[in-house]
Structure 1
Amino acid sequence: MENTLFDKTFRDDDGKIVIAQPPNLPLIVWFTTSLLKLVVTTGEINTVLDILANGSLFTWAWLELFQGVNYFRRAVGLGVFIGIIVSRIQ
């Protein structure tokens, strides 16, 4: 297989095009805690859920940035990573 920019951007080591994958544990934790934050809107529990949601999404973005299967997945990780930082600064 030719090693073109398209291949590096969208294919994994097996030559399959990978845009999305089944969610892993950090994404499942982020989704669950984000939904729970909609139910529990105030108090210490909401604060804990916020920390867990941001921490798990940060972990997912970090893993994608440094261990993503292709350049596209790494770019998505970088985008989410930057988005988390910007949203926390404001």
Structure 2
Amino acid sequence: MPEKSPATEIDALGELMVIQSAMQRQFLRIMLRRMASDLPAFDAEMFLAELELMRESLAEGRDRSAIHGFASAEWQRLSEMALEAIASTRAKPETH
């Protein structure tokens, strides 16, 4: 059985970035959920519409590099997280 090579600094940096990204998403999810539920003037539909406009703007870019692809995918994940966070603050229809 081949020996496992020791983790490199690049591996450690990648792991740190994944952890940081997950923590930032959790923080944003909590903040957005609190805003949507606690602020009467928060217009969730307008917020989501603006997110969609920004996503479309990013998708229209001509640069199709790997970084652009990563940015598009990350924006999609953040938009989905925002939609889920806002949806969690809305009353669910009752079923009898």
When normalised by structure 1's length, the TM-score is: 0.38
- Which structure has the larger Rg? 2
Between 1 and 2, higher relative CO (CA 8 Å, sep ≥ 6) is seen in 2
